[in-house]
Amino acid sequence: MFYFGGSAEKMEIRPSNKALQGLRMLPGLVKSADGVVFDRALFTGNPLLNVGLQNEWDELFIAWPRVLPPSSRHRCQDPSDEDKTWLMTYSSIEKQTLPFSSIGVALPADGHKWFKAGKALTRGAPGSWDEGGVGRRHVLLIDNEYFMFYEGVNNKGIHGIGLAISPDGIHWERDPLCQGPIFSARVGEEVWDNGTVAAPHVLQMDDGSFRMYYVGTNDTKTESAMGMAISKGKNFRTWTRIQNW
């Protein structure tokens, strides 16, 4: 299990901010013999990555690691392709006048020792739906292309889910066929997710469709819950919410 944890060190995002404990987050790995009880003592290589040097984009923390393994159990990956390797994506906040979140990529030799491979995606252009930053995400390998379903936020704090595509898992571009989010909150409707949608997790089903599980909040930020939507095959620009599942 890949996870992230924060130390007791006090730190601040900007000099004007209050110093907080737990903000210096780093990714780790724990192992289990049964998938139920996990033991830190079974792996001694933590943390898997460290923060960047001063003035590097990820100098604050490395959080929300998501790992795509080179395993035949992964439904979207060809088990005969031995050239594919482990892939980790993570997020950090860049220290600016107005801080924002970006996404990085890391690669290993064996899933244990990792090295950074660069910044994968950063905030969108001024005026775009994700100009406030990009963060939590889920990556799939489908037909030799990597698809990243990612959470973005605008300058008003409204979160949505976008799509980026990569040929190698390292170099990413936003979906050229969609100028905005592929999945949005139902603003103006009397529903539970009319505020924001975020934290996507996507699974391929036997019928060729994809299920996206997500976190939604209402417009008053008093309620948060999990929802699910289904694509029509590999058309990731159109999703149908499933009610009462």
Average pLDDT over residues 3-28: 86
pLDDT digits (tens, 9 = 90+) for 97-108: 678 999 999 998
pLDDT band at 111 (very low <50, low <70, confident <90, very high): low
Nearest to 118 by CA among 33, 58, 190, 185: 58
| Mean pLDDT, the chain, whole residue set | 89
pLDDT digits (tens, 9 = 90+) for 40-54: 988 888 999 999 999
Q: Is residue 23 in a domain?
A: no
The total domain count for the chain is 1
What are the two backbone dihedrals, phi and then psi, of residue 162, each rounded to the nearest 5 degrees?
Answer: -115, 180
Q: Is residue 55 in a domain?
A: no
pLDDT band at 245 (very low <50, low <70, confident <90, very high): low
Average pLDDT over residues 62-73: 80
CA–CA separation, 91 and 47 (whole Å): 15
pLDDT digits (tens, 9 = 90+) for 161-190: 999 999 999 999 999 988 899 999 999 999
pTM: 0.90
Average pLDDT over residues 121-140: 96
Cα 140 vs. chain centroid, distance in angstroms? 11
Nearest to 154 by CA among 197, 118, 191: 197
Q: Is residue 116 in a domain?
A: yes
CB contact at 8 A, 184 and 160 = yes
Q: Is residue 58 in a domain?
A: no
CB contact at 8 A, 193 and 183 = no
Q: Is the peptide bond before 15 cis (omega within 30 degrees of 0)?
A: no
Token pair for residue 93? 């906040």
Range(s) of the domain holding residue 127: 64-181
